[in-house]
Amino acid sequence: MKRPLAYISAAWSGTETENMEAARRYCRAVYEAGFSPVCPRLYLPLYIDDAIPREHKDGVDMARDMLRRSHVLIVCGGVVDEGVKNEIATAQRLNITATTLDGILAVKGQGETGGAAHE
């Protein structure tokens, strides 16, 4: 089964360690829901230094490019900050569906039966 790309968005407000752990959990849940998660927040901090203006801009540009390639934007967590609002607006301009992780998981749960899992 080919998994559609799902861009992971959230209001990243914790420490770098907390953000990475939240991103990992969100990606796992999205993967289990049948998507290929794309989460720049999980890997860009490994080599991009946000304190350097040029690198910060490059990180923003790379994240936006990953959003353009995705089939759906999935908003995770209970907070919507300016960054998330910007990603939702970008998705709308690109005609990319935006939804929440809770919404994805609820729909997935509706499609499951007591028998074999659907893929």
> pTM for the full model?
0.86
pLDDT-derived band at 89, boundaries 50, 70, 90: very high
Burial of 52: CB neighbours in 10 Å, binned 0-12, 13-18, 19+ = exposed
7 strand-pairing partners: 38, 73
Q: Are 113 and 35 in contact (CB under 8 A)?
A: no
Residue pair 71/3 in contact (Cβ under 8 Å)? The answer is no
Longest Cα–Cα distance in the chain: 53
User: pLDDT band at residue 14, thresholds of 50, 70 and 90?
Assistant: confident
Q: Return the pLDDT at 111.
A: 61
